[in-house]
Amino acid sequence: MPLSSKHLLGLSGVPKEDIQLILDTAVTFREILERPIKKVPTLKGKTIVNLFFENSTRTRISFELAQKRLSADTVNFTTSSSSTKKGETFKDTVLNIEAMKIDMIVVRHQSAGVPQFLTKISNASIINAGDGRHEHPTQALLDMYSIKEKIGKIDGLKVCIVGDIAHSRVAISNIAGLISMGAKVSVCGPATMIPKSIESLGVTVHHDINKAIAENDVLNILRIQLERKAGTNIPSLREYHNYFGVTEERLEKNNKDILILHPGPINRGVEISSEVADGPYQVILDQVTNGVAVRMAVLYLLGTMN
Amino acid sequence: MKIAIKGLKILNPQQDLNIKGDLLIEDGIIKKVGDLTDEELSGAKIYELDNHYCVPGLFDMHVHLREPGREDEETVETGCNAAANGGFTAIACMPNTSPNADSSEVVRYIKDQAANHLVNVYPIGAVTVERKGENLAPIAEMFDAGAVGFSDDGVAVKSAGILKSAMEYTKMYDAPIIEHCEDESLSDGHMNESAVSTLLGIPPLPSVSEDLIVMRDILIAEYVGARVHIAHISSKNAVDLVRQAKKKGIQVTAEVTPHHFTLTDESLKTYDTNYKMNPPLREEKDVEAMIEGLKDGTIDCIASDHAPHSSEEKEFEFIYAPNGILGLETQLGIALTELYHKKVLTMEQMVEKLSINPRKILNIPIPEIKEGEKADLTIFDADAVWTVDLKKQKSKSKNSPFDKKLLTGKQTATICNQKMFIDNEFMDI
Ligand SMILES: [Zn+2]
């Protein structure tokens, strides 16, 4: 059965069957990544543009590797310019690329809604690689993949997303995906980093990191953006670490099995201590590998739809 | 030229006038109100507009004309054409042009551009130089040049200190300060803060940003004893604050736009930038508060906040697209559809909110419908069902979420300054 949409714009509203299909397909690609020759001819002849209006080397490289391993032709278009600056508008840029007859666009942009807008001006399949603080569906898919790989299931698990929920594109995608796969999701962080009415998405909210550790099977720890948060949303990074940081001491005190995810890049000593980042609970580097497999699955499923 | 319009419902609550009858206009002057004899009809161009309403010319007190500076988006002329097409014989235009209307020269320039039009244009002058909130603009000079109110619209007057000073100054001329209420320390966003902004990941603007400035302005208006007019009110708390202030006798008035009494932030779920405005579309409770405020008189008038933007700019990415939508040509239709036909307001109240109250706020004489007066009239068919077609609108820009919307109630004739706009044409009368 194919996916229900030719685009992957986010995980909100995506049927459970689609998520299941992507995760199942990713298992096959994860195996391919262990082979000596990590390349399959599945997307030979397909052209994919990685349209990055915001610098994100990690996400771009992960997509690019996934594309190369599927034998697609890829072009990178990375620019920091946007419509506010003089010159070509965003729409013109896209129409230009569209005229080159491409099959898929992977887009990263600082404005929410750009992937939706692209579907209106392009015939290509659109994959959202992060739009503003809205969604980052492949990140959430790889998080779910990693949970499933480690624990064997998602249904019935308790997952807490910790940190700056308000400014994160990872949180909304994770919440939507996890809930549709049957997990019980909560968020934990300082109130200044919890967006208004997030309960309406079906999560519970609290502000106690010890409770988050004690009551959950999985913690997904979000990055605190060092450049802008201290002073306005939180008094200091030190205080954040003291009250919300995930440390070995806190994990040991609660003395239980817990899985730690982090979408990276990590800030050691802020949201996560070095001991935890390098310790036995976490799967941070597995997430990176799984990211390639999950992106291969998404590209494959969308690229072979018709 | 002599024209006769027959079968009208002639209504002007200001004169206690509410009759069914004909109208005879000669060289732009009303010659008779009532039944016309064959003798009076002879030689006249006759229009049969049975059961169309005839009311004192509609007035939109919140319009952005974009001239000088962005003539690619709207000029005084195209904006006036849009006004006539929407049934408005007069508009007040906001000072956030380039250069700003912060001098008597720019105020005079705008008036000159409008000099020969059917539509009367009343400029609003800036409160402060370049609307920066630092130094008072030449308020007296602009008042003498024809400015009827003062505003830093686009932003609120920056500080309480300069606002107090401005109110003391405008009080000498009994001119209102018209406030765009938004606290800049809370305004780092692009849509209303709600569950919807969380779902859409769009940086939010909390409604308390509006409420704070409404509160501040009411307190300063009370302290100084001056007048403040709240532009495009949009939050429930702001309406409550204005209601309480009015009860206390503070000189505060308020306007609401058609989009704020009809739409909510749910509309943004498609990321269509035609729903991006400031103040942003808010929630159901706020829309209900707008309706309640219109009903009980807390909200004095309806104004469009007509804000033309080029299509290339409205097609920017959501966070970069400019705020605002067109309004002049859909306002009457939306107001009739949503307020009159849904029995929120009576036709008398409609006329007050679309014609009489804006003039009262700006100290502009209210046109009378009687023999010997200059004809300044709007005629509309309250029951005409029509579909908005942006391609047929007169505005130079096309940014509106109301394209293809079915409305009930439409302008038939707009008459002022010895001119008439009817059947999509201007004519001298
Ligand atoms: Zn404004």
In this structure, whether the domain defined by B2-54+370-380+407-428 belongs to CATH 3.40.50.10330 is answered with no
CA of A255 to nearest chain B CA: how many angstroms apart? 34
pLDDT of residue A183: 98
User: Is the model's pLDDT at A83 over the cut of 70?
Assistant: no
User: In this complex, which of A84, A90, A133 lies closest to B201 when CB atoms are compared?
Assistant: A133
A153 with A35, same domain: the answer is no
User: In this complex, which of A84, A196, A197 lies closest to B320 when CB atoms are compared?
Assistant: A84
Would you state the structure tokens that stand for residue B32, as one six-digit string?
């008779």
**Would A7 be classed as within a structural domain?**
no
- Counting residues of chain B whose pLDDT is more than 70, the rounded percentage is 100
SS3 B61: strand
State the Cα–Cα distance between residues A45 and B352, nearest whole angstrom: 67
**Would A5 be classed as within a structural domain?**
no
Cα–Cα distances in angstroms (integers) from residue B284 to residues B266, B288, B301, in the given order: 9, 6, 20
pLDDT of residue A231: 67
Per-chain mean pLDDT for chain A: 92
pLDDT of residue A84: 52
Burial label for B296, CB within 10 Å (0-12, 13-18, 19+), is exposed
A268 with A142, same domain: the answer is yes
Mean pLDDT over A112-135 rounds to 96
In the CATH scheme, what is the code of domain B57-361? Answer: 3.20.20.140
> Cα dihedral sign for B48, B50, B54, B60?
negative
Number of structural domains found in chain A: 2
A74 with A112, same domain: the answer is yes
Instruction: Determine which helix (DSSP H) or strand (DSSP E) holds A87, and give its type and residue range.
Output: none
**Would A3 be classed as within a structural domain?**
no
**Would A37 be classed as within a structural domain?**
yes
Mean pLDDT over A96-117 rounds to 94
Which DSSP category does B203 fall into? P
CA of B316 to nearest chain A CA: how many angstroms apart? 6
Nearest to B130 by CA among B154, B110, B151, B100: B100
**B155 close to B133: Cβ distance less than 8 angstroms:** yes
A108 with A174, same domain: the answer is no
Residue type, B52: H
Cis bond leading into A137, ω under 30°? no
**Would A56 be classed as within a structural domain?**
yes
Minimal Cα distance from B269: which residue of A?
A113
pLDDT of residue A255: 67
pLDDT tens-digit series, residues A7-20: 999 999 999 999 99
A166 with A269, same domain: the answer is yes
- Counting residues of chain A whose pLDDT is more than 90, the rounded percentage is 78
User: Is the model's pLDDT at A82 over the cut of 90?
Assistant: no
User: Is the model's pLDDT at A80 over the cut of 90?
Assistant: no
A299 with A283, same domain: the answer is no
Cα–Cα distances in angstroms (integers) from residue B236 to residues A302, B198, B284, B401, in the given order: 45, 20, 10, 23
A283 with A183, same domain: the answer is yes
A215 with A190, same domain: the answer is yes
pLDDT of residue B417: 98
> Cα dihedral sign for B334, B336, B340, B345?
positive
ipTM attached to this prediction: 0.91
Cα–Cα distances in angstroms (integers) from residue B357 to residues B59, B83, B186, in the given order: 9, 18, 31
Identify each DSSP E strand in B95-220 by its residue range. 120-125, 149-150, 177-179, 191-192, 204-205
pLDDT tens-digit series, residues A213-259: 999 999 999 999 776 555 688 888 999 999 999 999 999 998 678 99
For residue B192, report the phi and psi dihedrals to the nearest 5 degrees: -60, 140
State the Cα–Cα distance between residues B143 and B365, nearest whole angstrom: 16
Range of the domain at A91: 16-135+288-303
User: In this complex, which of B194, B201, B204 lies closest to A134 when CB atoms are compared?
Assistant: B201
Nearest to B340 by CA among B274, B390, B407: B407
What ranges in A186-283 are assigned the alpha helix state H? 209-215, 237-244, 248-253, 274-278
Strands B120-125 and B204-205: unpaired
**A138 close to A298: Cβ distance less than 8 angstroms:** yes
CB contact under 8 A, A172 and B199: yes
Cα–Cα distances in angstroms (integers) from residue B191 to residues B187, B188, B287, in the given order: 10, 10, 15
* CB-based contact, B202 to chain A, within 8 Å: yes
Ranges of residues in chain B whose predicted pLDDT is under 70? none
A72 with A149, same domain: the answer is no
A80 with A215, same domain: the answer is no
Label residue A167 by pLDDT band (50, 70, 90).
Answer: very high
A115 with A192, same domain: the answer is no
A149 with A245, same domain: the answer is yes
**Would A80 be classed as within a structural domain?**
yes
CB contact under 8 A, B317 and A113: yes
Query: Residue A208 is part of a domain; what is its CATH number?
Result: 3.40.50.1370
* CB-based contact, B271 to chain A, within 8 Å: yes
Among the residue ranges A82-86, A150-154, B81-85, B253-257, the one predicted with the least confidence is A82-86
Instruction: Determine which helix (DSSP H) or strand (DSSP E) holds A24, and give its type and residue range.
Output: helix A16-32
Burial label for A232, CB within 10 Å (0-12, 13-18, 19+), is exposed
**Would A203 be classed as within a structural domain?**
yes
pLDDT of residue A229: 53
Domain range list for chain B: 2-54+370-380+407-428, 57-361
State the Cα–Cα distance between residues A132 and B203, nearest whole angstrom: 9
Mean pLDDT over A48-55 rounds to 93
How far, in Å, is the centroid of ligand 1 from the Cα of B154?
4
Choice among B211, B286, B305, B376 that is catalytic? B305
